[in-house]
Structure 1
């Protein structure tokens, strides 16, 4: 499986595969902002908006593929305010049900974290459904749990679920002392 950062053109070319991944993720019960059943057309429409955000420099997008099949994705929502240029939000880490348990989520997470460091970002944050398998991934990758918000979002079947907030400091922080290695 390859993991690569994609531009707007590539995201548009992969639109059907990205839409299939999103519908698979929602059908599998992951709380990624959509209710079930999620149709392919609605998922494709949402991804078209993400491609536009990539073109505008508001979103960095990575895609994992096995051959031509999209098997995973992750994005960084980039800052748009002068006082937040040091941070980004990790969003929509998704791995197809057939590709789970093979380390792909970790590879996608690492790709986004490394790119953040290379771009001078020093703080990442995210939210994830409390009790989801994603929580184990984030904790094992060194993310710090901040707290939980009850009844934050509806899971795909409509029931309200809590979300847990995480952050991770990456790279060198301005004004922070260098760590001897």
Structure 2
């Protein structure tokens, strides 16, 4: 790997404090990914305020202990990637968590950032007492290969499940991982 970066877990205190710089940096990553065509629940153009509002909600969830937020930072401390573990699930699923918003800036891709985020996610899930993880991704996208290499098992696909940021329909593939 040519670029040095670290992955860290955002603490509840940092999230509760509002962490405007954190929210702004995460909004930058989200906007970059959506502009690059990532199907992650948002359409283009993605207004910056909408991205900021989304990340403020995530920070609130972290502060309340409903989710785990991991960030990858480059050597200058700039956030280049992120992933979430949603831990607030129904009472009959205390052992399970959903993985959401695996995002890596276009300029930081193909450098191992996503792989390191996923390894840290596994560790965080274990710390939270989770043994079953579930995620979904665009069928045929690069992320499918990433997840398979990281030990995730493909469950199946649903055609025309969501929209790409430009409005085109896309299929979604579901994966699970037993820790």
Partner of 2:101: 92
| TM-score between the two structures when normalised by the length of structure 1 | 0.90
Residues 115, 8 of structure 1: alpha-carbon distance in 2 compared, 3 angstrom cutoff: closer
SS of equivalent residue, structure 2 residue 130: coil
- Describe how 1:127-166 pairs up with structure 2 within 5 A: 127-166=136-175
- Describe how 1:46-57 pairs up with structure 2 within 5 A: 46-57=54-65
Residues of 1 paired with 2:96 and 2:89: CA distance? 10
Q: How far off its partner does 1:139 sit?
A: 0.6
Q: How far off its partner does 1:9 sit?
A: 4.7
- Describe how 1:42-121 pairs up with structure 2 within 5 A: 42-66=50-74, 67-121=76-130
SS of equivalent residue, structure 1 residue 114: helix
Matched, 1:38 2:46: yes
Residues of 2 paired with 1:81 and 1:34: CA distance? 26
Q: Unaligned regions of 5+ residues in structure 1, if any?
A: 171-181
Paired residues in the alignment total: 170
SS of equivalent residue, structure 1 residue 14: helix
Q: How far off its partner does 1:79 sit?
A: 3.3
Q: How far off its partner does 1:65 sit?
A: 1.0
List per-residue Cα deviations over 1:105-127 (Å, max 9, x = no partner): 00000101111112221100100
Which 4+ residue blocks in structure 1 deviate beyond 3 angstroms?
8-11
Greater Cα radius of gyration, structure 1 or 2: 1
Aligned-pair Cα RMSD in Å = 1.1
Matched, 1:24 2:24: no
Contact 2:31 2:51 in 1 (8 A): yes
Residues of 2 paired with 1:104 and 1:27: CA distance? 19
Q: How far off its partner does 1:8 sit?
A: 4.4
Contact 1:124 1:167 in 2 (8 A): yes
Residues of 1 paired with 2:90 and 2:133: CA distance? 15
